[in-house]
């Protein structure tokens, strides 16, 4: 009975504001069937019984439902997102979306379809990005023979012979793979890996396995990156030479990674905003050239000041900064493990995002994310 009276109240409110919605709605839907109802309702409010009013309102609702149903039939239904059936890897310890290192491109296409985009990465190859509205998100690199030599996901697409999967604990991973390596040798140089609670690196045969943990979810696996040893060794140092192609690649990858994380946490993905991306890139460049790392620039201007200077209109905004990580993957995973930055990434009110990257003279990247509510 309570729902019944709430329904009557809703109809009454709807009709009381009819002058405001009637004109715009009539542009898309023929609402002439409501005309006789207006007069009837006016009279019923004064002389008809409640049951009569209900009957007319019910008849009108039936017509409206029928009309809307016919309109909805004309709209193409949204694509259903299906989680793949994960199989244990055949030749390697880990697979992602049933793809292993060494898999041919034909296998990738059969499993994942056509890539949404591709962009240069720090290994001198390209990340081909696959997803369905940022669900089932995977990035893949190919060698000269078009076989997979690197693969990454931050989605529940991980399969292993040992049972390691998305959500496994850090202790379980270390029990399975042993102690993580502390350094990587490249030619005559040895690079010491920074101690971090947020990720481990393991060397198993011809594979470097990067395991990223969510520190806000009890140090459980949140992402995995597999790199063929042959590809890792081609990278001469920790940082790749920063050129325009790599800058564009890092910007694209940071945007995609952020959206994949949002969708994974039940949020909408953000739209690209080229103007605010320019604002973000200018701030990254300013920090790289002038050797500082701060939301406020040398002129004392905040992110909001800089956006307004560029003519950007917004109802809400936020900014994330990262510096020194060798790739957008490391930058993103680090931001997700920082409470304030994570809050920006997972704030449901935002609608748009622009990313900007620049390199200093040591090829160290500066990353800027500008979030907007338009």
The pLDDT assigned to 186 comes to: 73
Q: What is the DSSP letter of 297?
A: -
Q: What is the pLDDT along the chain (374 residues), one digit of tens a residue?
A: 444 444 444 554 454 445 445 554 444 444 444 444 444 434 333 333 333 333 333 343 444 434 333 333 344 444 577 888 999 999 999 999 999 999 999 999 999 999 999 999 999 999 999 999 999 999 999 999 999 999 999 999 999 999 999 999 999 999 999 999 988 877 667 777 777 789 999 998 999 999 999 999 999 999 999 999 999 988 888 899 889 999 999 999 999 999 999 999 999 999 999 999 999 999 999 999 999 999 999 999 999 999 999 999 999 999 999 999 999 999 999 999 999 999 999 999 999 999 999 999 999 999 999 999 99
Q: Compute the distance between CA of residue 129 and CA of residue 141 in angstroms, rounded to an integer.
A: 9
Strand 158-160 with 189-192, pairing: unpaired
The Cα-based distances of 262 to 189, 294, 341, 342 in angstroms read: 38, 25, 13, 10
Question: What pTM was computed for the model?
Answer: 0.77
- Is-contact 316 373, C-beta < 8 A? yes
- Is-contact 169 185, C-beta < 8 A? no
Q: Is 104 helix (H, G, I), strand (E, B) or coil?
A: strand
- Is-contact 310 278, C-beta < 8 A? yes
The pLDDT assigned to 22 comes to: 52
User: Tokens 């042993």 sit at which residue?
Assistant: 178
Contacts of 2 (CB under 8 A, 6+ apart): none
The pLDDT assigned to 27 comes to: 44
Strand 94-96 with 158-160, pairing: antiparallel
Q: What is the DSSP letter of 97?
A: T
Please report the domains of the chain, with CATH numbers, ordered by start residue.
Answer: 32-64+255-373 (3.40.33.10), 94-237 (3.40.33.10)
Strand 183-186 with 117-120, pairing: unpaired
Q: Compute the distance between CA of residue 235 and CA of residue 47 in angstroms, rounded to an integer.
A: 85
- Is-contact 194 315, C-beta < 8 A? no
Q: Compute the distance between CA of residue 60 and CA of residue 220 in angstroms, rounded to an integer.
A: 54
Q: Compute the distance between CA of residue 133 and CA of residue 153 in angstroms, rounded to an integer.
A: 15
User: Tokens 């793979």 sit at which residue?
Assistant: 177
Displacement of CA 58 from its chain's centroid (Å): 43
User: Tokens 């201007």 sit at which residue?
Assistant: 301
The pLDDT assigned to 188 comes to: 65
Structure tokens at 344: 């920006």
Among 16, 4, 25, 8, CA closest to 60: 8
Q: Is 73 helix (H, G, I), strand (E, B) or coil?
A: helix
Instruction: Give the orientation angle of helix 2-16 with respect to helix 50-73, to 10 degrees.
Output: 70
Q: What is the DSSP string of 20-57?
A: HHHHHHHTTS--GGGHHHHHHHHHHHHHS-HHHHHHHH
The pLDDT assigned to 45 comes to: 36
């Amino acid at each position: 009975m309570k729902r019944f009276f709430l329904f009557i109240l809703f109809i009454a409110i709807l009709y009381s504001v009819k002058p405001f919605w009637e004109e715009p709605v009539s542009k898309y839907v023929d609402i002439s069937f409501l005309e006789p109802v207006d007069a009837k309702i006016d009279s019923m409010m004064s002389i008809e019984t409640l049951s009569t009013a209900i009957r007319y309102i019910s008849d009108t609702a039936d017509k409206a439902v029928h009309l809307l149903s016919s309109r909805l039939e004309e709209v193409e239904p949204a694509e259903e997102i299906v989680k793949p059936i994960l199989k244990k890897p055949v030749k390697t310890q880990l697979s992602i979306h049933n793809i292993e290192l060494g898999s041919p491109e034909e296998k990738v296409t059969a499993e994942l379809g056509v890539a949404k985009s591709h962009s240069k990465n720090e290994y001198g190859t390209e990340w081909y990005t696959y997803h369905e509205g940022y669900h089932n998100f995977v990035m893949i690199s190919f060698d000269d023979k078009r076989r997979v030599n690197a693969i990454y996901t931050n989605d529940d697409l991980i399969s292993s012979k040992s049972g390691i999967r998305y959500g496994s604990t850090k202790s379980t991973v270390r029990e399975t793979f042993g102690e993580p390596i502390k350094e990587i040798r490249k030619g005559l140089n040895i690079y010491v890996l920074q101690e971090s609670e947020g990720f481990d690196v393991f060397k198993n045969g011809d594979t470097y396995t990067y395991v990223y943990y969510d520190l806000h979810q009890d140090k459980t696996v949140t992402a995995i990156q597999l790199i063929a040893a042959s590809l890792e060794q081609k990278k001469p140092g920790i940082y790749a030479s920063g050129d325009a192609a790599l800058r564009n690649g890092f910007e694209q990858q940071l945007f995609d990674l952020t959206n994949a994380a949002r969708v994974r946490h039940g949020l909408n993905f953000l739209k690209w905003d080229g103007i605010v991306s320019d604002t973000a890139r200018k701030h990254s460049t300013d920090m790289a050239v002038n050797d500082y790392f701060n939301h406020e620039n040398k002129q004392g201007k905040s992110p909001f000041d800089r956006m307004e200077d560029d003519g950007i209109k917004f109802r809400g905004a936020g900014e994330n900064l990262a510096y020194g990580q060798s790739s957008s993957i490391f930058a993103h995973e680090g931001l997700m493990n920082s409470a304030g930055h994570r809050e920006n990434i997972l704030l449901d009110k935002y609608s748009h995002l622009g990313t900007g990257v620049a390199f200093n003279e040591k090829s160290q990247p500066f990353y800027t994310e500008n979030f907007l509510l338009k």
